[in-house]
Structure 1
Amino acid sequence: MKTHLKYIITIVLSGIIISCDNSLDEKVYSSVTQQSYKYTTEDFHPAIANIYSYLRSSLDQWGFFCGQEVTGNAIVLAPNASGWDDGGVYRRMHYHTWNSEQAHVSNMWNWFYRGVLICNNVLDQIEREEIPSPSAAEKEAGLAEIRAMRAYYYWMICDNFGEAPLVIEKTSDLPAKSSRKEIYEFIVKELTEVIPNLNEEQGGNMYGRMSKWAAKATLANVYLNAEVYTGEARWNECIEQCNDIINSNKCALSDNYNASFRATGVESSKEVIFTVPFDRDYGEGNFIHMYSWHGELKKKFETEATPWGSGAAMGLTQFIDTYDVDDSRLEDTWLMGPQYAADGTQLTGTYDKKGEPFVYTKDIPSANYTSEMEGYRMNKFEVIAGSTNNSTTDLPVFRYAQVLMMKAECLLRTGQGGAGALVSEVRKRAFKEHPDKATVTDEQLKENSVYQYGYVENYKIIDPGNQESIQFGRMLDELGWEFAWELQSRRNLIRFGVFTKKSWLSHKPQGDYRSVFPIPEKVLTSNPNLEQNPNYVQ
């Protein structure tokens, strides 16, 4: 049992009154209301714990997961004989034909802004001492933590929507848009100001919270993508933040790649810098296994819940083909080949392959329909026996491996040496049986990607589309192998100029404006001060 997680989630759900400003008349069912409740110092830490609640929506297939992974070139969520079409919503994310009424777009917007609003509210309550602080030092640290988390939510808004409202205090006024650059500058300013006041503990009591190192990793990511956000690169600034984390000696790579994705023991990890904690009973939200796995896998993993139908989230053949056959991350990331029950019995198909031996195969014909056994499935996040719809395995947001890879990419982009050594350090644990393959040079990282881009029908590329060489394409490949399923694909593809240029599986380019999502239609209708993002038809 993750005792720290249990404590945090219990206090979030314990009934403390944290609300956002609104003008709706409320029906009061209790004599204790927002106005009458008298906070004490015991409410201070539970109030801060509330700011993390919306992160647990990250892996929902109706929101952020699809926005970051299914729009990318490694994972698709395709219909099959058990269903999984839902009116074509997942296919539209793969095709890049979403619109302002797409549920995924609305859900991402809502989750990010709810995170912002709860941060604003708790900041206001603590600053006004409506929620009293146990001490001046704890107040300073608490306010810094909240501001850092608010900056993280605004990074998500900036990254996914570009221009958007920048609301930093409680107000009933309808906000107008701020430019993407203004939001970027706010994020950088906030993080720079609060980092000196953040807790330097790695893991332990700061597990799943905005420590100094989590904030620096956030700032490094913002700098890494600054050219996308503002047109002006900040590679050296990213390197500086990465160096601070590296030189702190607080973080390190785990001996084994899969150690960051286990159900237990991760709380003491020196690799996991910031995470979204999940728990079967106290913190629901990690149900990737439910929408990736076939229902028969209940017998293999001895889960309490039966995965939904034959599952749908799977690897694209073109991406799977990029792996070196000796890269252990292939098996650590993807469920493949024959599948057996826990007692060794061969599993069999139940839909279009009913009665046939259950074997996950690599090749998929398109994003429009697959067999129940086609496509490698999720094997990255441990799902322990007895799991319900919710796994107790946490989602790493930032790992030390990413810090090393960010620095390596920036060294490449600035013409400095040393990128190969950093990437080789990350690769070592994936090639323990073949150490000679772990080493990669700076020059190799500058080579084109090995990914075979092109539009696929009936298992074959029939239209290669854009075949221009990708600058630092091998570096992009390295990011894909290391971080598949970790909600980074879309952002990486945009930064490397691939997202709106290349074709893969059933996706063809739909225009550069698709590098940001539209503002949800309901938001535009309710706020006349907002305009839709360019080229999206309202």
Structure 2
Amino acid sequence: MKKLNKKLLLSAGALAVFNLSCTKLNEDLYGSKYVDKGGAATSADLGGVYSQLNGFNDQANWYALSEHSSDEMMGPTRGTDWDDFGTWRKLHQHTWDPSHNQIYDTWNNLNIGVYRATSVIAKAADNQTKAEASFLRAFFMYWVVDFYGQQPFREVTDDPDANPRVMTRKEATDFMIKDLEFAIANQTTKDPGKGNKYAAEFLLAKIYLNKAVFYQDPATAAGPYTFQKADMDKALGYLNDIINNGGYTLTPNYYDNFKWDNTTASKEIIFARQNDPNVGQNASVENRTRMGMHYNTTPDGWNGFTTLAAFYNSFEDNDIRKKYNLPGYTDKTGHNVGFLVGQQKKYDAQGNLVNVLDRSGNPLVFTPNVNLGYATEAEGIRVVKFALNPANYGQSGNDYVFFRFADVLLMKAEAILRGGTDAAQPLALVNQIRANRGATQLANLDLTALLAERGRELYWESWRRNDLIRFGKFNDPVDQRETKSAGYRVVYPIPQRAVDSNPNLKQNFGY
């Protein structure tokens, strides 16, 4: 209990410091004064834009908005643990409002990233720096557009007393496309820790796949959507360049994409926030594992988030994405990677594999079913995807993966199914992935089957909400949300404080 509460207090403190340290910049976002100090952009300026990616490592905010609202994650309250005034439950049950704390904090983090990138672009003395900053601006803007449906924006030359103008979702989409086209034309690096050419192509493919969603009238944001062949063909062009010229391939062991040495072990990483614990390059992603692990497991955790039983049951037993004994990890911790269900094990001080006990001294048995409002400490299936380094769990070197090659193949299959022209067969593309992951070959493929496969391949990687919306399934009932949610929930509200600060912002339909 104390360990979890300490973690929550630390998180709250960090948020408080963040809000205080960024007060002036937040005012800039909403229409207060902004004064550019001039001078050419430096490497430190560009580094400041990259540092804004550290906000993506947290289990809250951007990550929570992407996952807790979907059919693959929930954050049950356990006694007094993880209640947090209902912030997690509201996301899962689609009952958030414009005052939701994580909707506000995510808005701030993303828009600060857009602003910092815009400043670097305006002052960059070379196209390489400008290209990296243009990619980063599009990356932050993509999530603003996806989550909120509109984009406040200010050039550094704008009147500092004027409120930022606001782009519509369509305008912001077209703006991102131009940024990314510039990034591709002026970028040569393949460094996955930088805004490289193939990362820009990946994000452009995402935009064209989602263009029907982003161009939709706000009053009918939930669709149905009309996907244009021209958009699918554009996506295929970028995806094929990644496939043919990027040098990426499916990693032989799925979990090498996520474990502590994925910097070198993965063959799939296109863009990631790199993590060198020796130099403190950025915060560790250890929360991705600890947020679900129990206090008494190895490594220990905060006994929080779970997956849903229906999502777990969508995997075949022979699919290593469901369960795998990872060498160098399972033999040190006593448990598999993937999904944890049933009696939990660990090694004692003598090296014996023993049962993990709960806080009352009873065997710790993770159960498929979980009550979102009041769960016991053992309820819920846990997930270990980013396996931490057993040599030092608290200083693990996992890079946090944003874009990887398997998604390129899945996007290509989708673009073809939605009308794009290509010689490849979507079924063959998906079965290529399934063969690598130990799953049986599919006999046929349609959009429903593809959505399911995207879930199995990309679970807990922050794409599920985005996927469910595009496939028209986001509002469907799931466990602990028994009725279909309102269509307008496919877009989050603009935080009320932002609306109050900038009259150019208009609250989204339905809120």
TM-score by length of 1: 0.78
Is 1:166 paired with 2:153? yes
Deviation at 1:345, TM superposition (A): 2.9
Is 1:422 paired with 2:429? yes
Which position in structure 2 is the counterpart of 1:140?
127
Deviation at 1:439, TM superposition (A): 2.0
SS of the aligned residue for 1:385 comes to coil
Structure 1's 395 and 508: CA in aligned 2 closer, same or farther, altered over 3 A? Answer: farther
Q: Return the match for 1:99 from 97, 100, 104.
A: 97
Deviation at 1:323, TM superposition (A): 1.0
CA separation in 1, counterparts of 2:119 and 2:310? 46
Write out per-residue CA displacement over residues 242-269 of structure 1, whole angstroms, 9 at most, x where no aligned residue. Answer: 1110110421111111111011142463
Deviation at 1:289, TM superposition (A): 2.7
Structure 1's 285 and 111: CA in aligned 2 closer, same or farther, altered over 3 A? Answer: farther
Structure 1's 211 and 279: CA in aligned 2 closer, same or farther, altered over 3 A? Answer: same
Identify which range, 270-279 or 235-244, moves more after superposition: 270-279
Identify which range, 118-127 or 522-531, moves more after superposition: 118-127
CA separation in 1, counterparts of 2:196 and 2:146? 22
Identity across aligned pairs (percent)? 29
Deviation at 1:25, TM superposition (A): 10
CA separation in 2, counterparts of 1:367 and 1:279? 36
| 8 A contact 2:70–2:465 mirrored in 1 | yes
Which position in structure 2 is the counterpart of 1:198?
187
CA separation in 1, counterparts of 2:131 and 2:207? 18
CA separation in 1, counterparts of 2:202 and 2:213? 18
| 8 A contact 1:259–1:266 mirrored in 2 | no
Which position in structure 2 is the counterpart of 1:396?
401
Q: Return the match for 1:68 from 60, 66, 69.
A: 66
Which position in structure 2 is the counterpart of 1:263?
260
CA separation in 2, counterparts of 1:529 and 1:269? 45
| 8 A contact 2:165–2:504 mirrored in 1 | yes
Which position in structure 1 is the counterpart of 2:250?
253
Is 1:318 paired with 2:318? no
CA separation in 2, counterparts of 1:385 and 1:401? 27
CA separation in 1, counterparts of 2:192 and 2:246? 17
CA separation in 2, counterparts of 1:25 and 1:72? 38
Which position in structure 2 is the counterpart of 1:535?
510
Deviation at 1:333, TM superposition (A): 2.3
Structure 1's 307 and 526: CA in aligned 2 closer, same or farther, altered over 3 A? Answer: same
| 8 A contact 2:77–2:83 mirrored in 1 | yes
1:22-421 equivalences under 5 Å are 44-81=42-79, 83-127=81-125, 139-169=126-156, 171=158, 172=160, 173-201=162-190, 206-231=191-216, 233=227, 234-267=231-264, 269-280=266-277, 282=280, 283-284=282-283, 286=285, 287-297=287-297, 300-301=298-299, 306-308=300-302, 311-331=303-323, 332-343=337-348, 344-350=353-359, 354-364=360-370, 366-385=371-390, 387=392, 391-414=396-419, 418-421=425-428
Identify which range, 227-236 or 206-215, moves more after superposition: 227-236
Deviation at 1:285, TM superposition (A): 5.0
Deviation at 1:121, TM superposition (A): 1.7
| 8 A contact 2:260–2:388 mirrored in 1 | yes
CA separation in 1, counterparts of 2:414 and 2:275? 31
CA separation in 2, counterparts of 1:143 and 1:481? 37
SS of the aligned residue for 1:87 comes to helix
Write out per-residue CA displacement over residues 154-200 of structure 1, whole angstroms, 9 at most, x where no aligned residue. Answer: 11111111123233445422123221100001111221122121124
Identify which range, 222-231 or 79-88, moves more after superposition: 79-88
CA separation in 2, counterparts of 1:191 and 1:177? 20
Structure 1's 391 and 524: CA in aligned 2 closer, same or farther, altered over 3 A? Answer: farther
Structure 1's 507 and 63: CA in aligned 2 closer, same or farther, altered over 3 A? Answer: farther
For structure 1, list consecutive stretches of 5 or more residues without a partner in the other structure: 1-18, 27-33, 128-138, 432-436, 447-471
Deviation at 1:61, TM superposition (A): 3.0
CA separation in 2, counterparts of 1:530 and 1:176? 8
| 8 A contact 1:290–1:389 mirrored in 2 | no
SS of the aligned residue for 1:333 comes to strand
Identify which range, 415-424 or 233-242, moves more after superposition: 415-424
CA separation in 2, counterparts of 1:62 and 1:260? 22
Write out per-residue CA displacement over residues 121-175 of structure 1, whole angstroms, 9 at most, x where no aligned residue. Answer: 2223324xxxxxxxxxxx2111111111111111111111112323344542212
| 8 A contact 2:57–2:283 mirrored in 1 | no
CA separation in 2, counterparts of 1:218 and 1:53? 19
SS of the aligned residue for 2:270 comes to strand
TM-score by length of 2: 0.82
SS of the aligned residue for 1:146 comes to helix
Matched to 2:290, the amino acid is: M
Structure 1's 151 and 508: CA in aligned 2 closer, same or farther, altered over 3 A? Answer: same
What is the number of residues matched between the two proteins? Answer: 449
| 8 A contact 2:344–2:356 mirrored in 1 | yes
What's the C-alpha RMSD, in Å, of the aligned pairs?
Answer: 2.6
Structure 1's 384 and 81: CA in aligned 2 closer, same or farther, altered over 3 A? Answer: farther
Is 1:477 paired with 2:452? yes
CA separation in 2, counterparts of 1:268 and 1:523? 43
Deviation at 1:288, TM superposition (A): 2.2
Deviation at 1:81, TM superposition (A): 3.1
Is 1:440 paired with 2:427? no
Deviation at 1:49, TM superposition (A): 2.1
1:508-523 equivalences under 5 Å are 508-523=483-498
